[in-house]
Structure 1
Amino acid sequence: MSESMYDTVQFDAVTDEPAIAFATDRLRDATIRSGLGWGTGGRQPYRVGLTVEADADADRQGYRIDRTEGGCTVIAGGRAGALYGLLRIAETVRADGPAAIADEQKTPYLPYRGIKFNAPLDARTPGYSDDGDSAAAAVSDLWSFDFWRSLLDRMATERYNLLSLWNLHPFPSMVRVPEYPDVALDDVMVSDVRPVAHTTGVGMVDKRTRESLRTVATIGIDDKIDFWRRVMAHAHDRCIEIMIFTWNVFSYGTDHTSYGIDDRMDNPVTIDYTRASVRALLRTYPLLAGIGITAGEHMDRSEHGARRNQAWLRSTYGAALQDIAAEQPDRRLRLIHRSHWSDLQEVSSVFDDVGLPAEFSYKYSSAHLHTTTEPPYIHRDGFLDQLPAGARFWLTVRDDDYYLLRPGDPAFVRDYLRRLPSHARLNGFYLGPDGYTIGREQLRLAPTDDRELVFDRQWYLFAMFGQLGFDPHLTDGYFRDRLRVRYPAADPATLDDAWRAASMIIPAVNTFHFEGNKFDLDWYPEACLSHPRQRHGFHTVHDFIAATPLPGSGLLGIVEDCRTGGADGIRPGEVADRLDRAATSATAAAERLRAAADPELIELLDDIVDLAELGCYYADKIRGAAATHRVIAGTALDEDARQQAVTHLENASDHWARYAGRVHRRYRPQRLSRLGGRMVDLRDLQHDVDYDITLARAVGYDEHR
């Protein structure tokens, strides 16, 4: 029988395991979408078998696919391996049919591939970005089981097995604390007013937000508990663990009580309440895998405060974990210590008697994933040298570069993951933004019947990290197949070329405009902005002159280039030329695809062209900044350089106008948390963009003349 003649896919295993049932549903869907029949009754069926090995030494996530006569068998080390093996078969059937299924054996490259999700549970128990519009839009979603079912299903499909939920102080919205029963909050409330918060989380609830509260869901605390138990059970059925991360010390959601709870570290009521709350959380949710804690942002930042902070965390979280260990000695729990503002050896010493393996977390790319595939910070900070013997670690992979548009470069992600340090001690990563809540899409101006998941809008980024985190050897052909299935009207090679070229732009800008722009409040590249109060807002040509490139990148900053004449390195003008070439390539490839595109593809092509226009803006801004500095550095006014600067910055202004106009024909402006809750309308920044031209005209003259 010719393999090309299969007319049916038949799954021969019978199981009531939810993870396997889910994967079977995905295989059935892929089979039907590929035009084949499903189940028994076909003349020439392709038969898929499944064996789950009981061997305790088998990797629980690993699997082997063995081709057989007229089919194949998945041999898995556990239910997760069965899930991933069957999903792999489903992907192949959907892309190329069952005849393309090949022998393969896989174990995960990283044990954990996770999502970082800032969780705004309620305006009274906010997340860390509730002064932005995305958080406010997500509150109702977080209390919808359909939302979590969809997200967890999609996470499993892309090989994620950890969901980390981050909230400043989640306990009043999630548990009933026996010792402090009045803390528990009924209902779900939002505020129509955004708080005026600090980036430490202070002020995330204020007088104005309290006065504008309104109820979006009527639900008692017991029903809330049932809700989150159901979410965690569904996660378990998709082989996904859930952890909760907190910042400290916060007491949001307790101000309606008379217990005397507040944010003071020396308040014995707060210490006892926090310990009781953590204990209640772990008792209430037996499927909760653990807790992550932060020695900040609202703790003692004085010279001698570090040990005091750890002692507080030990007396609250550490003590609560000991309480649970005494009650449930067979339960496996994690306690992850976030490393910033902490001495790792001191943490290990203070928590030594808690009885849990030492685990630490590091912000690997700081806030800017899309800069370099080998971020320097973990080596600058000496994190790996400080890591205690026997301790394992996690990497927080922060993507605060893209709040509007969408990256798509598998080569960047593959190289990023392959270069992760100290792999033998690395548990994995959790990926996501800090200044944006990845709930449901809320930016489109065009009306839609259904708000898609941000995970689906950014599907390619999440697919790349999840799939390559499991198997970094996946080829470019695999990702082009994914593009072909998602966008059947497009030539996948052309689309791949366009998306990769556009995705080079922000990393190129971030690498050039690097030092001093480490954090999300320092730099937001889609808008050329920083925090307007804690930093200085729009980045002018003078900021581009002052900032130096990523060390080791081979790039010369503007000042160094002018000083040395570009003797040893890649000059700013060459960086600008690279940006222009990437923009030209991306635009040309995108436009070749437009004629046959459906609405979903057109939206993606528009994003690609928008990125290209942004790249052209930065190219001319860099040229304009370089020419401006030549005027500054000259012994006499260089009028030719001044005119060059003005011309380049006028061109940059034109590119910005086109970029802003294109973006806001499709997407609404939004308030962004890491920009102080500022409403970011790219069109309104035209005045700042044009002021760069004025700065170039005025440079070298007495500014008060």
Structure 2
Amino acid sequence: MNFKNLVLIAVSFFVFSVSAQSRGVFLSSYSDVTKIALEKLADQTTFSKFNIESVKKSKSIDSKIILLKIEADNKWIKKFKLKPNTVKSEGFQIINKVNNTYLIASDDSGLMYGILELRDQLKLNGNNSKFIEKTENPHFPFRAVKFNLPWSSYRIGESLHLHMKTVKDISFWEGYLDMMAENRLNALTLWNLHPFTFMVQSEKFPEATQFTGQEFKDWQKFWRQLFKMAKDRNIETYIVNWNIITSPGITETHNVANYKDDLEWHYGFTPADTSQVIVDYMRETITQTINEYPNLTGLGVSIGERMKMPMEDAMKWVKNTFIEGMKNADRKVKFIHRAPFKVEPEIAREYIESYTDFPDPIIMEFKFNWSHGHSTPNLAITHGGKVSDQYWNPKPSNYKMAWMMRNEDFIMLNWGNTEFIREHIAVNDIPDVTAGYFIGSETYIPAKEFRMNPDVNYNWKYAYEKDWEFYQMWGRLMYDPNTSDDYFIKNFNYRYGNEVGESLFRALQLGSKMPLRFSTFYKGTWDFTIYSEGFLNGKQLYRNYKEAEDAFIRIDEMITHKTLDPLYLNIDEYNNLKLARKSISNEYVTPLELANEMERNGLKILELCHKMEGSSINNAENFNIEINDVKAWAHLSLYFADKLMAGINLDEGVKTKSLEKKQKAIDYLRQGSKHWLDLIDSTKQYQEVSLLHIRSFKFSWEMYYPRVLKDIEIVESINF
């Protein structure tokens, strides 16, 4: 039977057995969204029978699980004497009554999440367990992934381009989209410089065409499959690009946007070429893209980079291209607009709030703490300017804001900290303004697994599968910040066994604080100004092309470098206050307090790891990689603590001409060098990898050990 025809069926039954217990599923309506979710639910069971049959509505229901949509199934809700709570879009309620479990939702999306919740409960609590009653509604309506595409990529490097084949493989996307749905992530934003030549052959500008024949047909097939698969999982899709970046064919044919002087940038970047041919081409191509891909949810634009013009002119350009192009399309689409980098929000707001032809509020994407969102939960900086509330005060009329949580700080090691995510949401959820979050990276594509040492065994195929905690914690907590740690602990137990699950969860929570604290103490701005798990400042290397080791953050530099959060004192400020015998307010975090916290965390992680030794575990290959990751975080935490203590003593020694303090600094650095050796040992599961943070150089922790020792030489060479 053709599944697509099942939407005409009034009632369908899915009958399967769970252990010795039979559970049937009654549906009063059917869609591709519920079909996929039910298949996932069935995956959690052992089949004895799987039937799809049409029955009359008058037929009695003999099922264990009954799925109901509030508006369509009000008759059944009354018949079963159910009193549902308030269930919003994408929300659901689970009710147990007599021998049946009722899943109630207001739409297919809610049914999907509810079905996946039932699957989760069977998986985590056991197939014979009773379903737990609950009502869940999404806290944020917009829960997005930022995914940079490897073709026409914003940055250039082997660490991006090695993903080409994987990202064009529809099998990769099937798994990735399943992961998103299971974690309740509902928007996929795809970013590159100029996506349109990969999607359409311009009717009015044939010179823009980049692909022809079968190659172009393959691209069309790819996009259509991707957008349809996403829609079938309640995932919106957006194509997002950077302003006046045009087709190479347009550039070459019309001699426009041709900027080749700066070798740091590749073709397509332009110093604000607003030629009419570019305006016309962009507008027409945007319209054509929307018309040819009906399952594409919307488009997005970013104003910045080489768009060197007054803000008012930049906004006019967006209006004449993107806004007009979308307006001319056969259907309405949604729109994402990055908050402009320049500090002229009053001009940007005036234009954006004049765009009234959209079916839903525009999503204003706002970078949180520039490229390093995983830092302090307090908004300390924006991209290119000072912090201002002018984008949300007064409340906008036609847009909602979504925070961009860029991650350029941990790429190799697993990360997950529910405490930080909950606190971030609590601090930054502006009532009636915040729509949600984007999570993702500019310099890391979670596709081909390229990090692991070939000699190491592991049981996953794609990079995002290793990063499961990151997606699960962010996705589930964006949907419901009240999700307890018990849910995540159960997931650790399910993967690795009850004897180690909670300890591994606790160890990862502690370890994941290290990059948060480091990027709060050591201020970063754009991508390469900090790489926390590597202890690097790639900006030092970026323009000079010296040795990769030059990116390592030195002891002398760390003393005076500014902190990101103004409530954190750097070493120089702290010692100045201490030597002047001035009191330090309790609201400040001192380097000494930070060092003590990092030492406690590191030692506690190692204690938890020792506790897990000899335990019964599941999936030993993946568990060994996870536990080595948390050990690596422990050693990074201890190294950070020792380096802070060395800096405190060195700075005080220089200021007071104390040889004793100088020697203490040397002792701390020597102790820290031992922790770095332990870090090298914990990270042998990784090979040297290409990493954009250090440009064309390879990365491993071992290659930086000489610079760890160099700190000792720096201190020893200081004379009073």
Please give the TM-score of this superposition, normalised by the length of structure 1.
0.85
Partner of 1:648: 668
1:339/1:360 contact within 8 Å kept? no
Cα deviation, residue 323, structure 1? 1.6
**1:621 matches 2:628:** no
Residue in 1 that maps onto 2:40: 26
The structure 2 residue matched to 1:249, chosen from 244, 247, 250, is 244
Is contact 2:650-2:661 (8 Å) kept? yes
| In 2: Cα distance, 1:585 partner to 1:282 partner | 53
Amino acid at match of 1:110: F
Picking from 548, 564, 583, the partner of 2:577 is 564
Out of 668, 681, 697, the residue aligned to residue 700 of structure 2 is 681
Residue aligning to 1:69: 98
Deviations 1:651-689 (A, max 9, x none): 2222223313432x2112222224334322322222222
Q: Is structure 2 residue 431 aligned with structure 1 residue 436? A: no
* Counterpart in the other structure of 1:600: 622
Residue 288 of structure 1: SS of its match in structure 2? coil
Any residues of structure 2 matched to 1:74-473 within 5 Å, and which? 74-97=103-126, 99-121=129-151, 126-133=152-159, 135-186=160-211, 219-251=214-246, 253-254=248-249, 258-262=253-257, 263=270, 264-300=272-308, 305-324=310-329, 327-328=330-331, 331-341=332-342, 343-351=344-352, 352=354, 355-356=357-358, 357-377=361-381, 380-382=387-389, 383-385=391-393, 388-446=396-454, 452-473=461-482
> Which range moved further: 534-543 or 65-74?
534-543
Matched, 1:657 2:670: no
Query: CA deviation digits over 1:181-205, x for unaligned, max 9?
Result: 2323238xxxxxxxxxxxxxxxxxx
Alpha-carbon offset, residue 479 of structure 1: 1.3
Letter in 2 for 1:317: F
Q: Does 1:612 align with 2:626?
A: no
Looking at structure 1, the residues matched to 221 and 517 of structure 2 have their Cα atoms a distance apart, in angstroms, of: 47
- Per-residue CA distance 1:350-376 (angstroms, 9 max, x = gap): 452563355421012422233223333
Q: What residue ranges of structure 1 are gaps of 5+ in the alignment? A: 188-217
Q: Is the 8 A contact 1:501 1:582 kept in 2?
A: yes
The sequence identity of aligned pairs, in percent, is: 20
CA distance in 2 between partners of 1:492 and 1:472 (Å): 21
> Are 1:528 and 2:555 matched, yes or no?
no
- Of residues 571, 594, 601 in structure 2, which corresponds to 1:575? 594
Q: Does the 8 Å CA contact 1:28/1:38 hold for their aligned counterparts?
A: no
Match of residue 710, structure 2, among 688, 691, 694: 691
Indicate the residue corresponding to 2:55 in structure 1.
none
8 A contact 2:374–2:405 mirrored in 1: no
Q: How far has the Cα of 1:236 moved from its partner?
A: 0.5
SS of corresponding position for 2:328 = helix
| Cα gap change, 1:145 to 1:353, in 2 (>3 Å) | closer
CA distance in 2, matches of 1:695, 1:252: 51
Distance in 1 between residues matched to 2:156 and 2:429, nearest whole Å: 33
In structure 2, distance between residues paired with 1:295 and 1:342: 12
Task: Give the direction of change, closer, same or farther, for the CA distance of 1:174–1:69 in structure 2 (3 Å limit).
Answer: same
Once structures 1 and 2 are overlaid, which stretch shifts more, 406-415 or 339-348? 339-348
**Separation (CA, whole Å) in 2 of partners of 1:698 and 1:219:** 66
In the alignment, is the contact (CA less than 8 A) between 2:26 and 2:63 conserved in 1?
no
| 178-187 or 272-281: bigger deviation | 178-187
Aligned AA for 1:679? K
Amino acid across the alignment from 2:155: S
Q: Corresponding residue for 1:195?
A: none
Shift of 1:39: 6.2
2: distance between equivalents of 1:245 and 1:358? 14
Q: Retained in 2: the 8 A contact 1:182–1:257?
A: no
- For 1:669 and 1:173, the matched residues in 2 are separated by 32
- Opposite residue 636 of structure 2, the aligned amino acid is L
SS of the residue 1:561 aligns to = helix
For 2:490, the equivalent position in structure 1 comes to 481
* C-alpha separation in 2, matches of 1:13 and 1:436: 42
Report the Cα distance in structure 2 between the residues aligned to 1:172 and 1:507, rounded to whole angstroms.
39
Measure the CA separation in 2 of the matches of 1:143 and 1:391. 33
Q: Deviations over 1:527-561 (max 9, x none)?
A: 111221259722111221112445464x4321122
- 1:8 partner amino acid: S
Q: Give the AA of the match of 2:334.
A: L
Counterpart amino acid of residue 685 in structure 1: Y
In angstroms, what is the RMSD of aligned CA positions? 2.7
**Matched residue type, 2:169:** S
1:53 aligns with 2:63: no
Higher RCO, Cα 8 Å, sep 6+: 1
Amino acid at match of 1:338: A
1:524 Cα shift?
0.5
CA distance in 2: counterparts of 1:177 and 1:545, whole angstroms: 56
Q: 1:315 to 1:643 in 2, by over 3 A?
A: same
Distance 1:451 1:442 in 2: 12
Q: Which moved more, 1:574-583 or 1:91-100?
A: 91-100
Report if aligned partners of 1:299, 1:309 keep a CA contact under 8 Å in 2. yes
Structure 1 residues 288 and 372: alpha-carbon distance in aligned structure 2, compared to 1, 3 A threshold = same
Distance 2:41 2:404 in 1: 32
Instruction: List per-residue Cα deviations over 1:406-449 (Å, max 9, x = no partner).
Output: 11222222222233231322221111111211223211113669
Distance 1:89-1:353 versus aligned 2 partners, 3 A rule: closer
The answer to whether the Cα contact below 8 Å between 2:142 and 2:186 also exists between their aligned partners in 1 is: yes
Matched residue SS, 1:576: helix
CA separation in 1, counterparts of 2:406 and 2:665?
Answer: 35
Q: CA deviation at 1:259?
A: 4.1
Equivalents in 2 of 1:5, 1:168: separation in Å? Answer: 52
Sort the Cα spacing of 1:178 and 1:390 in 2 relative to 1 into closer, same or farther, 3 A. Answer: closer
Quick one: which amino acid aligns to residue 91 of structure 1?
A: D
Partner of 1:537: 551
Task: Tell me the alpha carbon deviations over residues 351-406 of structure 1, each in whole angstroms, 9 at most, x when there is no partner.
Answer: 52563355421012422233223333479233433764443212111121111101
Give 1:147 shift.
0.9
Q: Which amino acid aligns with 1:115?
A: V
Q: 1:73 is paired with a residue of what secondary structure?
A: strand
Question: What SS class does the counterpart of residue 254 from structure 1 fall into?
Answer: helix
1:121-157 deviations in whole A, cap 9, x for unaligned? Answer: 3xxxx22233241x11211112111011111111101
How far the C-alpha of 1:261 sits from its partner, in A, is 4.5
Q: 1:661 to 1:494 in 2, by over 3 A?
A: closer
What corresponds to 1:212 in structure 2?
none
- Once the two structures are superposed, residues 103-128 of structure 1 have per-residue CA deviations (whole angstroms, 9 ceiling, x without a partner) of 2222110001110000113xxxx222
> What is the TM-score when the length of structure 2 is the normalising length?
0.84
